[in-house]
Structure 1
Amino acid sequence: MIYAAVVDFLSDVIASMRTGRASSARVEWRAPWGQRFPAMDGAAGFQVILRGTCRLVPPQGDPITLGVGDVVFFPHGDSYGLADELSTPLAEPRCDPVENTELFVSDFIGTDGAATVTLCGGYQLDPTSKHPLLRDLPTVIHLPAELGKHPELRSAIELLGAEVGTPRLGADIIVRALLDMLLLYLLRAWFEDQPAGAEVTGWAAALADPAIAAALQAIHADPGRTWTVQTLADVAGQSRAAFARRFQTMTGRPPLTYLTWWRLATAGRLLRESDAPLNEIARQVGYTSEFAFATAFKREYGTAPGRYRHADRPVSEPGKAAAGRS
């Protein structure tokens, strides 16, 4: 369902949200075992079953039996449990790749019961740049192992499992790259698994729609351009009214509202990651003056750009400052 242009869009979205570095762990569990993984604000995580079976206790809904090759992704960092059997109590965390600072670790938990080997990982996400695409995702994404399906995802898992299990020369850089790849492959697999012909809504529908995807790609490729609803409609190949209506229905925001949000999210990333002066950042994201940029940024984030740049953590999530005054 995903068109080629959307791949760059998805990469752009992930780059804007990622912060810090990802981490991973290979754990060999020996029955009986069970662990509770706590909720992690501003994080996403995954579990891959490399050997054996186990039971997933999700934050909502029925337990899920997991087998070799199954992948479970938690895009919102919700709490969950894993155990050899549902009757096994869940212990407090011992191995948490989001909380731990190591890039990759290996651990052994249990004694001499039946073995289950898992590969887990965690990503730190900046809550001030959390794209609405991610908010649309379900609490738990389960990607069962199916022969011949998502070969890139399976290859990345195999490589990552080998590197984490037996670190060798260059493993640090390799594991970082594989974790980044895995996050994109997970999201791509979920979007591609949306059933053809089904009633798909939200961002899944937007990414599957060639016209809206083209407009989103144009915004992300050149946020500093003087876009109008008409010029975006031209990119989409639709009339102004039809495009505006379709864009808002699928993304939840009018085109220019999304454009402004993305400009300021991009500005936030540039403030965090570069030493570029404010007037240069303002120009890159489409503001004709530093004053206009600073006013818009403070309205969105609740703090001035300079203070945001030097703060340990952003003051508020984008949009909440403005919403609080409405």
Structure 2
Amino acid sequence: MDVLSDAIAAMRTGRPHSSRTYRHAPWGIRFAPSNGAGFHVVLQGSAWLLPSGDGAEPVALGPGDVVFLSHGRGHGLASAPDVPLEDFALAPDGSWPKTEGDRAASTVLLCGAYQLDRARAHPLLAELPEVVHLPARVGEHASLRSAVELLGAELADAQPGSDAVIPALLDTMLLYILRAWWLREQAAGHATGWAAALRDPSVTAALYAIHDDPARPWTVEELGARAGLSRAAFARRFAASVGASPLAYLTWWRMTTAGRLLREEDLPLRQIAERAGYTSEFAFSRAFKREFGVAPGQYRRVRAAG
């Protein structure tokens, strides 16, 4: 698995939701804080993003602009910064409400939301800014634009298979948004932390090794060899970029993988322990409880009930 895809898969829970909406000025929507993340795309017309928080400035959005709010903060979206906001409400089944197409609408929006497990937020996502704004520019983010067009078409005119196509396109959009941000930070020379780590071939080689086979009893020497560095040089470089030592990150990723398996798979604890790199179910349970505060069986029951 590549690290970006793996980080998303580790946090994601449930099905993402989206809608294509048509608005007549003046209009304003208030989105409450949530545990997830969301995006807005202006397909036609214009809008203003109104971030929450002291000193947060409104962001003008034009046709083709994409904004991604990674930390679930409450925010507003409106035809103008001073328009009163109405609370956004989900449909009774928990999905986003649909609106009928209206050629006379002043603004057409494509909006979506992802459910994420904030308790195991991957540091790659935790480092994102509150608002990722990707303005529409000719020749940039072609893959993201294609995904937007495909998703917008599916939402505007559902066809056989749309129930499977739409979640897949939403997952694709999320990865394209993050990739676009990451490439922009690198091109501007602003890459730090994980954005810099994914640019460093030595650190990336070690991360790929960990993500590809977390059950392997990796040593710092072995990971350093994958990175093409001495043990000491690799350990310093890895910790400076990732924010944790190689073995600390390995343990964190093993436990994160185990948590996902407990949520999503009906596997015996012995198999989950093996996939997390533990030959003893007892040792795995002890390590899991130290990390999550509850035993694996209790974690599985609570997540199944919730």
Please say if residues 9 and 220 of structure 1, whose CA atoms lie closer than 8 Å, have aligned partners that are also in contact: yes
Corresponding position of 1:318: none
- Offset at 1:108? 6.0
Corresponding position of 1:80: 75
2:226 maps to a residue whose letter is: V
User: What secondary structure is seen at the aligned counterpart in 2 of 1:311?
Assistant: helix
The answer to whether structure 1 residue 151 and structure 2 residue 142 are counterparts is yes
How is 1:218-229 mapped onto 2 (pairs within 5 angstroms)? 218-229=209-220
Q: Which has the higher mean CA deviation after the structures are superposed, 259-268 or 59-68?
A: 59-68
Please say if residues 308 and 314 of structure 1, whose CA atoms lie closer than 8 Å, have aligned partners that are also in contact: no
Among candidates 41, 66, 85, match of residue 90 of structure 1: 85
Please say if residues 262 and 296 of structure 2, whose CA atoms lie closer than 8 Å, have aligned partners that are also in contact: yes
Relative to structure 1, is the Cα distance of residues 35 and 194 closer, same or farther in structure 2, using a 3 angstrom cutoff? Answer: same
What is the CA deviation profile of residues 119-152 of structure 1, one whole-angstrom value per residue up to 9, with x for unaligned ones? Answer: 0000001123321111100000000011111111
Among candidates 242, 250, 256, match of residue 259 of structure 1: 250
**Coordinate RMSD, CA, aligned:** 2.2
What is the CA deviation profile of residues 150-184 of structure 1, one whole-angstrom value per residue up to 9, with x for unaligned ones? Answer: 11110000010011111121111111110111111
Distance in 1, Cα, partners of 2:173 & 2:49 = 21
Relative to structure 1, is the Cα distance of residues 197 and 235 closer, same or farther in structure 2, using a 3 angstrom cutoff? Answer: farther
Corresponding position of 1:12: 6
How is 1:1-326 mapped onto 2 (pairs within 5 angstroms)? 8-41=2-35, 43-60=36-53, 61-94=56-89, 96=90, 101-102=94-95, 105-107=97-99, 115-196=106-187, 198-312=189-303
Distance in 1, Cα, partners of 2:127 & 2:288 = 24
User: What secondary structure is seen at the aligned counterpart in 2 of 1:208?
Assistant: coil
- Offset at 1:8? 1.7
Distance in 2, Cα, partners of 1:314 & 1:136 = 31
User: What secondary structure is seen at the aligned counterpart in 2 of 1:107?
Assistant: coil
1:101 maps to a residue whose letter is: G
User: What secondary structure is seen at the aligned counterpart in 1 of 2:13?
Assistant: coil
Could you tell me the TM-score, scaled by structure 2's length?
A: 0.94
Distance in 1, Cα, partners of 2:241 & 2:304 = 31
Could you tell me the TM-score, scaled by structure 1's length?
A: 0.88
- Offset at 1:309? 1.0
Please say if residues 42 and 61 of structure 2, whose CA atoms lie closer than 8 Å, have aligned partners that are also in contact: yes
Please say if residues 31 and 112 of structure 1, whose CA atoms lie closer than 8 Å, have aligned partners that are also in contact: no
Please say if residues 147 and 169 of structure 2, whose CA atoms lie closer than 8 Å, have aligned partners that are also in contact: yes
1:10 maps to a residue whose letter is: L
- Offset at 1:88? 0.9
User: What secondary structure is seen at the aligned counterpart in 2 of 1:22?
Assistant: strand
- Offset at 1:260? 0.1
Identical aligned residues as a percent: 54
Please say if residues 128 and 314 of structure 1, whose CA atoms lie closer than 8 Å, have aligned partners that are also in contact: no
Please say if residues 105 and 164 of structure 1, whose CA atoms lie closer than 8 Å, have aligned partners that are also in contact: no
2:234 maps to a residue whose letter is: F
Q: Which has the higher mean CA deviation after the structures are superposed, 172-181 or 58-67?
A: 58-67
**Unpaired runs of 5+ in structure 1?**
1-6, 316-326
Distance in 1, Cα, partners of 2:231 & 2:33 = 43
Relative to structure 1, is the Cα distance of residues 158 and 314 closer, same or farther in structure 2, using a 3 angstrom cutoff? Answer: same
Figure out how many residues of one structure are paired with residues of the other and give that number. 304
Runs of 4+ in 1 over 3 A off after TM superposition: 111-114, 312-315
Relative to structure 1, is the Cα distance of residues 23 and 208 closer, same or farther in structure 2, using a 3 angstrom cutoff? Answer: same
User: What secondary structure is seen at the aligned counterpart in 1 of 2:303?
Assistant: coil
1:206 maps to a residue whose letter is: A
